Homo-oligomer: A and B are copies of this chain.
Amino acid sequence: MKNPIRTMLCLALLLATTQLSAAAKGKTMQEILDASTAADWRTPDPDNLLVMDIAGGRVLIELAPQFAPEHVGNIKTLAREGYWNGLSINRSHDNFVVQWGDPSEDPAKAKSIGTAKPKLPAEFALTGFDKSVFHPVKDREGWSKQAGFMHGFPAATDRKQAWMTHCYGALGAGRGNEADSSNGTELYVVTGQSPRQLDRNITVVGRVLQGMEYLSVLQRGTGPLGFYEKPEQRTPIKSIALASTLPENQRPQLEVFRTDTATFDELVESRRNRKDDWYLNKAGYIDLCNIPVPVRSKK
């Protein structure tokens, strides 16, 4: 007979288990991944993969030139020229974002942006996009007319425009009050409940694929907006480089689950109605930002 305390310790919140009492229930996410084929996965282009090294570990970020070509172009230039190397993460706002860039308040001390462009157009949303590449999810949401995935990124559309959404791990380009005041030097990553009110207000440039746990644990800043009050509280950035510029044997080798396949739809369904016995009431629903997009080491 199970000891209730032991039961709770070992079984509490069994959200990753693959218990299945009957095949009729459908597959769990793990079973879907186990049964997936090479065609269900894609390899991110190393020329769109940022490799960020901080003391805690390595963060891998996929850039989205399909959504923000001008910003991504500038970010690649900044990465190639080592702009962020030696700069720092200057902000950690609980349940919201971490943000990095040049902390210098004195323009005379600001780090040179090299050959990057000082000014870019706002790239909040795509107009005139190819609707066939927007892969909708089944469930409706209040933030947009239709949520789904596009080019592997969580996205939404009003059917005229499409944009990347502010889900956990989204990478965006900070701006001032003017729409076109971001140039990609100042970047933030969403670490809390999806702040979807930012959608179409700021240029989203990519998404963290791996290493969120090194950003999400950073001590929260106690200054306004979660900025650190003392320079020593900032997290130094060792380097941010494009994977394509690293020696071949140092490049990350990973694959991302495709979001435009029937297998992905099956995965979403497995999360809309969880298949393991622990769930006594199936939700019959999932929010766009609750849908996982699995990542694995390349075989």
Mark A residues whose CB is within 8 Å of B: 2-16, 19, 90, 94-97, 99, 101-105, 107, 110, 113, 118-119, 124, 139-143, 167-168, 174-177, 179, 181-183, 185-186, 188, 192-202, 212-213, 216-220, 224-225, 271, 274, 277-281, 283, 285-287, 289-290
A230 smallest CB distance to B (angstroms): 16
A122 smallest CB distance to B (angstroms): 9
**Given the complex, which residues of B lie within 8 Å of A216, measured CB to CB?**
94-95, 216-217, 220
Q: Looking at the complex, which one of B7, B10, B90, B124 makes contact with A281 (CB distance below 8 Å)?
A: B124
B110 touching A225 by the CB < 8 A rule? Answer: no
* A5-B124 CB under 8 A given contacts A142-B140, A194-B193: no
A202 smallest CB distance to B (angstroms): 8
B287 touching A94 by the CB < 8 A rule? Answer: no
Q: Looking at the complex, which one of B197, B225, B281, B290 makes contact with A193 (CB distance below 8 Å)?
A: B290
Tell me what chain A mostly uses at the interface: helix, strand, loop, or mixed.
loop
CA distance A96 to B16 in the complex (A): 12
**Given the complex, which residues of B lie within 8 Å of A5, measured CB to CB?**
101-102, 104, 107, 110, 113, 185-186
B9 touching A200 by the CB < 8 A rule? Answer: no
**Given the complex, which residues of B lie within 8 Å of A101, measured CB to CB?**
5, 8-9
Q: Which of A124, A179, A213 has the most CB of B within 10 A?
A: A213
CA distance A104 to B140 in the complex (A): 44
13 A-B pairs with CB atoms under 8 Å apart are A6-B110, A8-B175, A8-B182, A9-B102, A9-B105, A13-B198, A95-B168, A143-B287, A177-B277, A194-B290, A196-B290, A197-B271, A217-B219
Considering only CB atoms, which chain B residue lies closest to A13 in the complex? B174
**Given the complex, which residues of B lie within 8 Å of A280, measured CB to CB?**
124, 179, 200-201
B15 touching A225 by the CB < 8 A rule? Answer: yes
